[in-house]
Chains A and B, each alone.
Chain A
Amino acid sequence: MDHALVRNFCIVAHIDHGKSTLADRILEVCGAITDREAVDQVLDSMDLERERGITIKASAVHLQYQADDGQTYHLNLIDTPGHVDFSYEVSRSLKACEGALLLVDASQGVEAQTVANAYLAIDSDLDIIPVVNKIDIKNVERSFALGQLHEMFGFSEEEVLHASARTGEGVHEILEAVVARVRPPEGSAEAPLRALIFDSEYNSYRGVIAYVRVMDGRIRKGDTVRMMATGRQFEVDEVGVLAPAMTPTEELVAGAVGYLCAGIKDARECRVGDTITSARHPAAEPLPGYREPKAMVFAGLYPTESAEFASLKDALDKLALNDAALHYEAETSGALGFGFRCGFLGLLHMEIVQERLEREYDMDLVATAPSVVYRVYLKNGQRVEVENPAHYPDEGSIERAEEPYIRATIMCPEEAVGPCMQLSQARRAVFKDMVHTAGGRVTLTYSIPLAEILLEYYDQLKSVSRGYASLDYEFDGYKPAKLAKVNLMINYESVDALAFLTHREFAEVRARTIVDRLKQLLPRQLFEIRIQAAIGGRVIAAGRISQLRKNVIAKCYGGDITRKRKLLEKQKAGKKRMKQVGSVDVPQEAFMSLLKI
């Protein structure tokens, strides 16, 4: 394959700005799929992704495009995840490309994530083609997006393409621009092999399928390759391209994007960002930028039935085979029994894992409220990392504590600046910067404790800005924290899974809110339930749920016995889905109520 005819590119866009639809149109124009095959959004292969309209796993599609100059070009379209939890995966996908389409919704304009990813693309030295999408929408004012693209990234009006991914208008021009403006890949086919793993996928028949960009050298079936970070060696079973179905090829040479199967059993042996080299003629240096996935958010996952612990372990083991970022360790809770403390990249990652466990592995789970990792310096000179509020050391033994902060970029319309600032300040955010851009948009920068983001910050941001604010964030280091551990007690029994850490100033307000919420969530039961929240021995909020007074089947005769028995058994089964804390049945939602403050 001639290097000069290869173009590797990706699409950078905000959720809902039409990335997947545009990808589908490009595939159609290149004849890679017929209309009939075009189940909407081919690139998103997991059901969950399609349902949520987000891309979790990136994939790469190989296309052949007959350009206006008469030549047939080999285009590799690399899809990138669209959520901030997966920004490392995004950065690896970008490294596999030479060019990027920067897709902006004509009516919505540039959003925070788009900016973050666009800068990532610019930093990766990609050739960028700005595209204003959704021009088919009536009365849409293109000058707004054009102005933003100019002010933020310096694109002139002439550079910007206009398209409608929905109708297909402008897609031909986009492909011509890819050919003309994106440079062909460099790299030598004769140098020692260096291939970047930018994504992987688990297949129960073939093991882990690695998506790779070959930077130098070549890979063939039968080669022995080595993962430079993990040191593991594998024999290559197959290489090929996704067209978009898996299509084996002779080899993948420098500049090519494709897949590799090598009987890899576990995603943790094939990490995104790692470099594949030849075992026989290894490269001296790996490609730069490899990073271990770092869990930012921790939560306990417990089976509702204690007997299901082994099945949960099994399910997590299997899930981890295709999710290298998932981290888990067995733990015990007084209230919830045996389960796992799991680490996630972010809240969305957590939701996805929980949903996959429930859907694909048929688990009934109770999740505790997610927590960040606190650093606690003890008086005896030790430093401990606390992932679980229940394990927070005794107040008396603590010298000082730190919590993780993030640098948050919020983009919103001018009229929403006030509410967005108010909300952020109530979340202990430290103001950093404010920049006005075209079209009445404002970019706010804050340093915020990550713990505050977990408390539905994003949802509230959306709500105070009528849906117009967008958020992107990156890790901003550990900073001192004044923490208080609040214990919740049900009928005077402390429930470890409901304990939470909070800033001292907020402790009472939050304790009150949570007690009130539990009062609504716990069904009335045989006896009165008392709920208390306490710091140490001091009760700071309390409430009670009066006992159930009436629940009886008025009439129950011969004909009715079977029916009524089944009704009771169904109720019994419903209760089994709750966790018993002492004699109180606690529904699943109660544990997550800690988040809704």
Chain B
Amino acid sequence: MTPDDGAAVDLLAGMLRTPSLCGAEDAVATLLVESMTELGFDAGRDGAGNVVATLHPTQRSDATGEVVILGHMDTVPGAIEVELYDGALYGRGAVDAKGPLATAIVAAARAAPRLRRTVTVIGAVQEEGPSVGARSLLQRPAPEYLVIAEPSGWDAVVLGYKGSMRFRVEVAVAGGHSAGPLPSAPEVAVTFWNELVAWCTRRVPGAERKGGFYELTPSLLAMNSTHDGMEDVASLQVGLRLPPGLEPDALQPEIEALLPDGAFSFSPGEPAVRSDRRNPLVASFLRSIRLEDANPRFKLKTGTSDMNVVGPVWNCPMVAYGPGDSSLDHTPEEHIEVDDYLRGIRVLTRVLEEL
């Protein structure tokens, strides 16, 4: 069945009306399996809970390998009433990332009569958390082409995401009078933070001239301190956004050396991913966007996505694509312009027909 524009809007509205917080994606997964089966996909759920839906080629072709479109079903918290207002569809996940996932579903269904390769659309679980769904996919063979269904804007493709890592550090000193000569635990923690900021600048010399994507950027996420009369304790939670070329594991000892008496605990991190732009996948997107009378744009994201998980392992031509203004991600005003959604579907349909 080929979904028209009305069916495309209905599909996305249905997805938005079905809550799917990170780790609680069953209801929307059921909706997607039913909807995609009706559209002709071979659809089901894998062991991790991801929805995996495949369309097989209908054209004789010597093309081999599959196209994987990887989106995610979960959203951050914060219910937003689903409504169509002034040409925009409001709802949690409209941009991040049910809009791009619905775009992929409709585009693949529309391209089905002209497909030269197998196209697999995946709605992953827990992208807004530990990327459980994407990690479970690493055992799959690398596809020929990978599209991450995340908001790029309908006239742009994303070529890369910064990496990230997080850690908590705790420092304890013997309690003392605040009029005394020794620094308190909070003062030690603040000194560490200032040294960390300076280290980030030193660690990637010249990055400020190349732009934020190439900088090592620290964020102070939380700080706390306690004093029980015997001991001063201060703790910091820190996030780092990593440029290409820096591996989270390799940075740990350098960070620990900045505060030898600190007790560090690191969460698993992800390196940055940056795809090449000289390949048939990018060329196809540029052609298709120009057919909508627009000048295509390239973007580099300072955030992360499941491209950080699967990209370095699959190492195939890849982009992220999807309609939507990502400045609305995670906000109370999250919405997608319907015209942009429909343009995004047309762009991706032509790409899938060409590959």
Q: Is A bound to B?
A: no
